[in-house]
Amino acid sequence: MAKRSVWSDNRFWQRSAAWVTGFASILLIWLTFDTSAQISMGTDADLQNGVTKRVPAPTVINYKITYEMDTTRGHEVPVIGEKEMFFGRDDWSEEEAAELLHLGKLGSQAKNCMNCHTLLGNGAYYAPDLTKAWLDPAWGPEGSLQSMTGKNTKEEAMAEFLQHPSQYPTHARMMPDLGITADEAQGLVAFLKHMSSIDTNGFPRNFGKIKGAVHGK
Amino acid sequence: MASNHLTGVGSESKQLATWYFTFAAIIFGAQLVFGVVAAIQYVMPGFLFEIVDFSVARMIHINALVVWMVFAMFGAVYWLLPDETGIETVGIKIGKLLFWVFAAAIVVVVLVYLLVQVGPATESTIWLIHEGREYIEAPRWADFGIVVVALGFVFNLFATGMKGKQTGIITVLMADMLAFAGLYLAGMFFTDNISVDQFWWWWVIHLWVEATWEVYVGSLAAYGLITMIGAHRKTVEMWLWIEVAMLFGSGILGLGHHYFWIGTPEYWWEIGALFSALEPLPLVAMFIHVLYDWGKTQGAETEKGNPASVIKNKPAFTWFVLNAFGNFLGAGIWGFFHTLPQVNLYTHGTQFTSAHGHLAFFGAYATILIGMMYLAVQGTNGIKVLKSTKSSLAATWMITGGVMGMGIALTIAGYVQVLVSRAQMGATWAGYFDGQSGMWFSQAMDWRLFMGVITLIGFVFLAKDLLSIGKATHHER
Amino acid sequence: MLAPINESVMITEIALDDFLPIFISSSLVLVFGAVYAIVFTFVKVGALKPWLMPFGYLGWVLTAYCLYLMGSLMHVGEFTQKALIVTMIGYLFLPHAIYYMVDKVHQENEH
């Protein structure tokens, strides 16, 4: 029998596998702690003091959100601006806003949004991405979607659409009626507005800037 | 030994394995049927509108996928346990009871998906109907059921492994299945913060399919090489350990490639890119491993003046080789070309992901699990050398060709989507539908549907073959 | 908290005409990579004639070229650049190392 070499020794590889796995796991756990701290929701005080959080407080619904190019980071980031009315109010308290967001997030799961749409780019590919849906010019003052519903504000237009989607077809592929109530629709719109304020490292690129985009035609 | 390799007669563990395989095959069929429904809806959006909407069909399509694979994975472990450990599975009565609990729970879950579909925005919907989280939609009550069943399965595996002979394959499986079951817990909570939600959601999905499931497949391939072509155990097990090191070494932190755009910090770009670039390496290695062992074993037999094939189960071995190749193609190539953040910025959430999903789940998992079903047919019928039938060949060609065709069609659709909806229109509502309306996109969807139907017909051949091949007379008994 | 990495990964847009070459070259990275590993292993095992070996190494060269093409079209940053170079050099040695080990085990068990 040839001399046994360490490279062909099962025990050596068994130990290597254990060490590699252990090391990768520990690194992942350490990174998880760091990331968890960075993606925990901010507070209302952060918003008032202009502290930027990757995931802002639910009360971000009281503010105007835009998506602007950040030259140092090289991509667009959500920018939280001055106060803005949301369903006729800009003074949603921390509790009220949190409750609304809770309803909306629950609704997004209960209505199975993710099995047609993508949220933060994850989900199904049968319907548009919702990550920055709140910022879509089509829902804005001169947008086709807002005028289609006959409402005067973005949030009311979105809520109306969510309650009666098959009345407002935008494509042969329609959204089905999911029995969304007026309250649920309000929560879902709050959820969408909050999601648009999350710092997604520039995803999606060139959102809603068809004319200004690098490849814009 | 309680039973010889490839002989299932008299083993309760192997009997339980066949139950698991049978149920898995039924759910596999359901997966394909609902996949075809969803594919029709891309082509004819009015099809079953507000009856079985795309969201419902797709939820059943991907949940059935996960469920049939988990069933077949459990079954495969119960199948190989007596061979590896040399004893009957410990606690097999519990295992059998849990099978019925699991199967009944799945039937209830699917019926609720299909009949209730959506609920109001309350916690009770999450508990009773579904959780609305892709792949792990199962309602909370079922989550607890799944944990109980998984723990029972892990108990069977550990008790048997510790009482009987604990081979390298069993050691890897024990550690891997414990992690597999434990990771499910990361997907069992609700949070209002969607970034946190998706962060942990990927722990379950990624650490399953790109780490623990891959290692599981490595162990199955090792078992298959030993039983089907008589490969040398020591070489195979050494390879297995190297594969574990490579798969976990790249796969665990490869999780980073899901953290580019969900609100998580930028450092994941670097981590994701680096470990994603390493992820194909073990897949290449696994592919070479299978060919190397096959060549060596056949070569050794031929030298001894025995030129007959060393393969003891033709259809199963075909599926195992397809697995090695499909893993490399679907998970490797189709994964790699959209994994770096610079390009993933444009491909994330497009049909590219869908193409990769179809090819990878099929190539890496469906193939080897179908192979295990053929091994079980051979064992339960006491066949020495199992040979292919016309149906085995038809099934192999149609399923493989169908899934490849779907993958290519979806890739073309994804490419159109990237150029039109992403690079030019910036992912708005209007940009999305502009991309969907293009001629290339819609033709790709027609082809996808056609290839999906081919796959479904292939499945019919597969089911027929699994039920009848054991009775065929051309095998060596 | 970890400091953000200064290098801006996303500063340059990918040109429209570059998407197709990127997808094709990144697929070919793995295809040629596999060609290298397979030819190398088969020549060593004796399943292929030894004069084919240079084609194996040609596979590696093409892998490296495709990776370079892909990286430059994507405008990858410095860190990724280094990581890709190290990966390519590592990949040159990988089949050698794997073959060496597997062969050792075979010899120990058969002779």
A35 and A71 Cβ atoms separated by less than 8 Å? no
C1:A1 CB<8 A: no
Domain membership flag for residue C11: no
- Using a CB–CB cutoff of 8 Å, tell me whether A26 touches chain B: no
CB pair distance less than 8 Å for C8 and A74? yes
Which domain covers residue C83, as residue numbers?
Answer: 17-110
**Interface membership of A137 toward B (CB under 8 Å):** yes
* CATH number of the domain that residue B132 is part of: 1.20.210.10
Q: Does A72 touch chain C (CB under 8 A)?
A: yes
**C-beta atoms of A110 and B126 within 8 A:** yes
The answer to whether residue C91 sits within a structural domain is yes
Residue C9 lies in a domain: no
Structure tokens at A9: 């020794």
Provide the residue range defining the domain that includes B108.
1-166
* Residue type at A96 in one-letter notation: E
Q: Looking at the domain assignment, is residue B125 inside a domain?
A: yes
Does the CB of B295 have a partner CB in chain C at under 8 Å? yes
Q: Which stretches of chain B score pLDDT less than 50?
A: 1-6
Tell me the C-alpha to C-alpha distance, in Å, between residue C71 and each of A202, B168, B173, C64. Answer: 20, 40, 38, 10
Q: Is the pLDDT of residue A2 over 50?
A: no
Sequence-distant (6+) residues with CB within 8 A of A142 are none
Position A211 confidence tier, pLDDT thresholds 50, 70, 90 = very low
Residue B207 CB neighbour total at 10 angstroms: 23
**Per-domain residue ranges of chain A:** 41-196
The pLDDT value given to residue A94: 95
Structure tokens at B98: 């849990």
Window 32-71 of C: residues touching A by CB (8 A cutoff) are: none
- Which of C86, C35, C38 is CA-nearest to residue C60? C35
**pLDDT at residue A216 above 90?**
no
Amino acid present at C99 = Y
Classify B247 in phi/psi space as left (phi over 0), alpha (psi -120 to 50) or beta.
Answer: alpha
Question: Is there a domain that residue C3 lies in?
Answer: no
Separation of alpha carbons A34 and A53, rounded Å: 14
Give the 3-state DSSP-derived string for chain B, with helices as H, strands as E and coil as C.
CCCCCCCCCCCHHHHHHHHHHHHHHHHHHHHHHHHHHHHHHHHCCCCCCCCCCHHHHHHHHHHHHHHHHHHHHHHHHHHHHHHHHCCCCCCHHHHHHHHHHHHHHHHHHHHHHHHCCCCCCCHHHHHHCCCCCCCCCCCHHHHHHHHHHHHHHHHHHHHHHHHCCCCHHHHHHHHHHHHHHHHHHHHCCCCCCHHHHHHHHHHHHHHHHHHHHHHHHHHHHHHHHHHHHCCCHHHHHHHHHHHHHHHHHHHHHHHHHHCCCCCCCCHHHHHHHHHHHHCHHHHHHHHHHHHHHHHHHHHHHHHCCCCCCCCCEHHHHHHHHHHHHHHHHHHHHHHHCCCCHHHHHHHCCCHHHHHHHHHHHHHHHHHHHHHHHHHHHHHHCCCCEECCCHHHHHHHHHHHHHHHHHHHHHHHHHHHHHHHHHHHCCCCHHHHHHHHHCHHHHHHHHHHHHHHHHHHHHHHHHHHHHHHHHHCCCCEC
* Rounded Cα distance, C85 and C88, in Å: 5
Q: Is the CB of A177 less than 8 angstroms away from the CB of B50?
A: yes
Report DSSP letters for A45-69, one per residue.
HHHHTT---SS--GGGGGEEEEEEE
Contacts of B390 (CB under 8 A, 6+ apart): none
> Given this model, what pLDDT does residue B273 score?
87
Q: CATH number of the domain at A41-196, out of 1.10.760, 3.30.360, 1.10.1060, 3.30.450?
A: 1.10.760
- Name the residue among B273, B285, B333 with its Cβ closest to that of C83: B273
A114 pLDDT above the threshold of 90: yes
The pLDDT confidence band at residue A142, using thresholds 50, 70 and 90, is confident
Number of A/C CB contacts below 8 angstroms equals 36
Nearest chain A Cα distance for residue C19, angstroms: 13
pLDDT band for position C38 (cuts 50, 70, 90)? confident
CB within 8 Å: C94 and B296:
no
Quick check: is B98 in a domain? yes
Compute the average pLDDT of residues A84-109.
96
How does residue A34 score in pLDDT terms, banded at 50, 70 and 90? very high
CA atoms within 13 A on the CB side of C100: 8
Residue A39 has pLDDT above 90, yes or no: yes
Q: Decide if pLDDT at C44 tops 90.
A: no
The answer, yes or no, to whether residue C11 has pLDDT greater than 70, is no
Report if residue B75 sits inside a domain.
yes
* Domain total in chain B: 1
Nearest to A55 among B168, B195, B238 (CB): B195
Which residues are within 8 A (CB) of C84 and not within 5 positions of it... i.e. 6 or more apart?
B277, C67, C71, C76
Please give the tally of structural domains in chain C: 1
- Tell me if A24 and B436 make a contact (CB, 8 A cut-off): no
Q: Which residues contact B175 (CB under 8 A, 6 or more apart)?
A: none
Task: Give the nearest partner residue to B245 out of A17, A105, A137, using CB atoms.
Answer: A17
**Which residue in this structure is represented by tokens 């010889």?**
B4
User: A7 and C104: CB-CB below 8 Å?
Assistant: yes
In angstroms, the Cα distances linking B471 to B16, B25, B424 are 21, 19, 59
The number of angstroms, rounded, from the C-alpha of A146 to the middle of its chain's C-alpha atoms is 21
Residues in chain A within 8 Å Cβ distance of B49: 174, 176
Q: How far is A118 from chain B (nearest CA, A)?
A: 7
- Please state, in angstroms and rounded to a whole number, the distance separating the CA atoms of residues A164 and C13: 39
Chain C residues closer than 8 Å to A38 by CB: 1
Instruction: Give the span between the Cα atoms of B460 and B394, in whole angstroms.
Output: 10
Task: Tell me whether residue C5 is in a domain.
Answer: no
Contacts of A214 in chain C (CB under 8 A): 13
Give the three-state DSSP class for A76.
strand
Terminal Cα-to-Cα distance of chain C (whole angstroms): 57
Whole-number Å distance between alpha carbons of A155 and B159? 58
Q: Which residues 40-69 on chain A approach chain B with CB closer than 8 angstroms?
A: 40-41, 54-55, 58
Q: In whole angstroms, what is the distance from residue B21 CA to residue B463 CA?
A: 11
Measured from the Cβ of residue C46, the count of other Cβ atoms closer than 10 Å reads: 11
Q: Is the Cβ of C85 closer than 8 Å to some Cβ of chain B?
A: no
The alpha carbon of A3 is separated from its chain's Cα centroid by a whole number of angstroms, namely 60
Contact check, Cβ <8 Å, B244/A21:
yes
Maximum separation of any 2 CA atoms in chain B, in Å: 72
Query: What pLDDT does A213 receive?
Result: 40
Whole-number pLDDT of residue B447: 97
Tell me what pLDDT residue B3 has.
40
Q: Output the average pLDDT for chain C.
A: 82
Residue A127 and residue A136 in contact, taking contact as beta carbons nearer than 8 Å: no
Cα–Cα distance for residue pair C86/B89, rounded to 1 Å? 47
pLDDT value at residue B231: 85
What is the model's pLDDT at position B106? 95
Over range A20-36, report the average pLDDT.
96
Nearest one of B276, B70, B77 to B183, comparing CA atoms: B70
Residue A210: the pLDDT is 57
For residue B364, tell me if it sits in a domain: no
Neighbours of C, requiring at least 3 CB pairs below 8 Å, are: A, B
**Predicted confidence band at C64 (pLDDT cuts at 50, 70, 90)?**
very high
**Partner A contacted by B476 (CB < 8 A):** no
- ipTM of this predicted structure: 0.94
Contacts of B428 in chain A (CB under 8 A): 128, 136-138, 207-208, 210
Compare CB distances from C105 to A8, A72, A215 and report the shortest one's residue: A8
CB contact under 8 A, A74 and C10: yes
Strands (E), A33-151: 63-70, 75-83, 118-119, 122-123
* pTM of the model as a whole: 0.93
Q: Please answer whether residues C66 and C32 qualify as being in contact, where contact means their C-beta atoms are separated by less than 8 angstroms.
A: yes
CB-based contact A118:B262 (threshold 8 Å): no
**Distance in angstroms between the alpha carbons of the first and the last residue of chain A:** 73
Contacts of C84 in chain B (CB under 8 A): 277
Q: Which chains share 3+ C-beta pairs under 8 angstroms with B? A: A, C
Q: List the structure tokens of B330.
A: 């679907």
Domain membership flag for residue B122 = yes
- pLDDT, one tens digit per residue, over A62-80 is 999 999 988 888 889 999 9
Query: How far A75 CA sits from the closest chain B CA (Å)?
Result: 11
Interchain contact B104–C (C-beta under 8 A): no
pLDDT of A25 strictly over 90: yes
The average pLDDT across C70-99 equals 85
List the single residue in B245, B349, B423 with the smallest CB-CB distance to A129. B349
Asked if C31's CB is within 8 angstroms of B342's CB, the reply is no
Please give the Cα distance from B3 to A81 (Å, whole number): 72
Q: Looking at chain A, which subunits does it touch, using at least 3 CB pairs closer than 8 Å as the criterion? A: B, C
Cα(B295)–Cα(B321) distance, integer angstroms: 13
